[in-house]
Amino acid sequence: MNNASFASGDELERVNTERAFVPIEEMISGSEVFYIQLLKELRDIDAELDRRSDVASVLATLAIEHAQSILLLIRRGKPSSGMALVRVQFEVLCRSFWFYFLAKEAVVERSVSPF
C-alpha cells in the first residue's frame, strides 16, 4: 500500500478544523435571511388556510420567533440562554407538524374555538 496517497493525521486535523469553524456571524446572518424569507412565505399563504393549516402555521411562526430569539441571544453573548430555547423551539415545531398531519379534527376545532 502506498502511503503517499493518504493525508497525514496533522493534515486531516487541519482540514477538519477549517471546515468545522464557520464564523458565527456568518451563520447567524444566513439564518436570519432564511427566517425572514420563510416568514414572508407564510404571510403569503395565510389568507388561504383552513383551520388545521392555520393552527400549524401559527405554531410554525412561533418556532421561527424562537429561532430568531436564539440567534439574538447568541449574538448578544448569551449562548447558554439561546441554547435553552432550542428544546422549546423543537417542541413547538413538532407540535406544528402534529397538528397539520396527525391531530383529529375535534382537537383542531377545540384549539381554534374560544374558551
- The grid cell for 95 is 407540535
Closest-CA residue to 41 (of 70, 64, 22): 64
Residue 13 resides in a domain: no
Residue 9 resides in a domain: no
Residue 32: the pLDDT is 78
The pLDDT of residue 9 is above 80: no
Residue 32 resides in a domain: yes
Residue 102: the pLDDT is 92
Residue 49 resides in a domain: yes
Residue 20: the pLDDT is 59
Residue 86 resides in a domain: yes
Residue 38 resides in a domain: yes
Residue 69: the pLDDT is 92
Residue 50 resides in a domain: yes
* Tally of structural domains, the chain: 1
The pLDDT of residue 95 is above 70: yes
Closest-CA residue to 28 (of 89, 79, 62, 90): 79
Residue 37: the pLDDT is 80
Which residues span the domain enclosing 41?
A: 25-112
